[in-house]
Amino acid sequence: MSLTHLNDDEVMFRDTVHRFAVEELAPHVRRMDDSAAMDKALVRRLFELGLMSVEIPEEYGGQGGSFFDCVLAIEALATVDPSVAVMADVQNTIVNNAIVRWGSDAQKRRYLTLLALGTVGAYALSEAGSGSDAFALATTAVEDGDSYVLNGRKLWISNAAEAGIFVLFANSNPSAGYRGITAFLVERAFPGFSVGKKEDKVGLRASSTCELILDNCRVAKENVLGKVGQGYKVAIETLNEGRIGIGAQMVGLAQGALGHAVAYAKQRKQFGQTIGSFQGVQFDLAKMATDVEAARLLVYNAARLRDAGHPFVTEAAMAKYFSSEVAERIASKAIEIHGGVGVTKDYPVEKLWRDSKIGRIYEGTSNIQLMTIAKKLLA
């Protein structure tokens, strides 16, 4: 089932975001990568343009767009800088999405409004002992009067350095296993909550990835997102959608790498002619373009299915798996087409290659996606 056609409004939206990325974002990419820090002025611009609140309803200050619009924005940003695409992706596809779907009226009024107007959000599930086994959580939530007291540590939390609101998972009944997991809305200013070490990563360096420390952090019961003991449901359903966002990141990254390779092939000369005149390079570019388009169609189809209310879990897994494989392969091939200069920081393809590696790992490794696909085939 394919639902991939873009209407005129979607084309205009995608092109507007891409123009912003080229004109306003591109000049800062190298500096942000070198310093491993997101430019605060650019973050403000993301909010001003509505790119951090695409699917938040207008009544809370958002754009009232579709999930597919989120995917288009993420893809367009990633063609220029996947790190910035990560910030918008986390905000839209998992943080905002979780609150829109699971939040109470009071939670939506407070938190969606903040997230639409200038507060960055983060999603805190991973821990030292829970990676692919996402529900082996050690962080605890102990009921105490009208609150829960949270203790533990979270690792690999994207957006953590900038975030003011965290969708955070802890186990309120460890004896019940994953059925004790509960989702909480935690504010950065809550006593007992702190952001710890920032990881020094090989790629996506401007995108912050930090540990979170909960030391008797008191969270009011009114900040439980969804129902107590149903955090696993919040996590599973949100991450299924988030994987489509990762797919969009990887498609944008691959498109960016392909664009740089084509441009270089047109101007680099060897043996008295451009290297794009050689059939070997032409075939490489043709295969790269075909892979990008195939990955894009998988991502778009999964997003369309989600918006249409159809089952999409298998399609999301396919999109995330294939696009991440394609992104790494195309970024690597783009370096080869650039030759020796491809491995220098004078050209952008080495950064895209570094950025691509995480795509096969976070929000479900490639093997986890393959398990999901196989489970459907064998059901």
Residues with catalytic roles: 363
For residue 95, the one-letter residue type is V
* Neighbour count for residue 277 (Cβ, 10 Å): 14
What are the backbone dihedrals phi and psi of residue 135, each rounded to the nearest 5 degrees, phi first?
-100, 15
Q: Residue 149: beta bridge partners?
A: 142, 218
Phi-psi category of 159—alpha, beta or left, where left has phi over 0 and alpha has psi -120 to 50? Answer: left
Burial 252-274 (b: 16+ CB within 10 A, else e): bbbbbbbebbbebbeeeeeeeee
CA 135 to CA 181: how far, in whole Å?
Answer: 8
